[in-house]
Amino acid sequence: CRSWRALFTDTIVRKSSTPQPFEFGKELKIAIEKYAKYNPNDTDDFATTYGWPIGRWDVSNVENFEKVFHGQESFNESIGSWNVANAASIKYIFLNASKFNHDNSSWNTSNVTNMHCMFHGASSFDQDVSSWDTSNATRMHNMFYWATSFTQDIFNTSNVKSIMH
């Protein structure tokens, strides 16, 4: 016997063949806040509008990811397939997302200039980000501040003007 959630998710996946892309970080943040609350009554709307689960969302148009997961302490789902190639700023993206610990090594960060406080307070995060292209990054100040589990090697920081912790 399949669980209700499995049946519900299968139905959602079939309905969301062409999800709507997010245009702005603010819109994405609001959707993440609703997603994190997981109200089954809203799930169909999410699925038909943005796709389901969150890892299937189209964020390819978003340039500013500032604070989109801020305070989402229990969030820990895979978003490694997100296309962040147009991102210029991902500062504070996982601010205080203390449970987040998923692989984002495939993210194309070549256009990102600001990674300030990106994992600040993401105390469970310990994933390899050494493959990220940080050639345009100029701000990484406090990028891993209070990311107390982080033990990985980091990337080439030769262009960075501000990096601490």
User: Which pTM does this prediction carry?
Assistant: 0.83
SS3 category, 59: coil
Residues near 59 by beta carbon (within 8 Å), at least 6 away in sequence: 21, 22, 28, 65, 82, 83, 84
Q: Residue 8: is its pLDDT beyond 80? A: no
Residue with the larger pLDDT of the pair 16 and 125: 125
Cα of 67 vs its chain's centroid, Å: 10
The Cβ of residue 61 has, within 10 Å, a number of other Cβ atoms equal to: 13
pLDDT in tens, 86-119: 999 999 999 999 999 999 999 999 999 999 999 9
The pLDDT mean for the chain works out to 87
Q: What single-letter amino acid sits at 71?
A: G
Burial 81-113 (b: 16+ CB within 10 A, else e): ebbbeebebbbbbbbbbbebbeebeebebebbb
Residue with the larger pLDDT of the pair 143 and 43: 143
SS3 category, 140: strand
Pairwise CA distance, residues 108 & 126, whole Å = 19
Share of the chain above pLDDT 70, in %: 82
Q: What is the mean pLDDT of residues 9-28?
A: 74
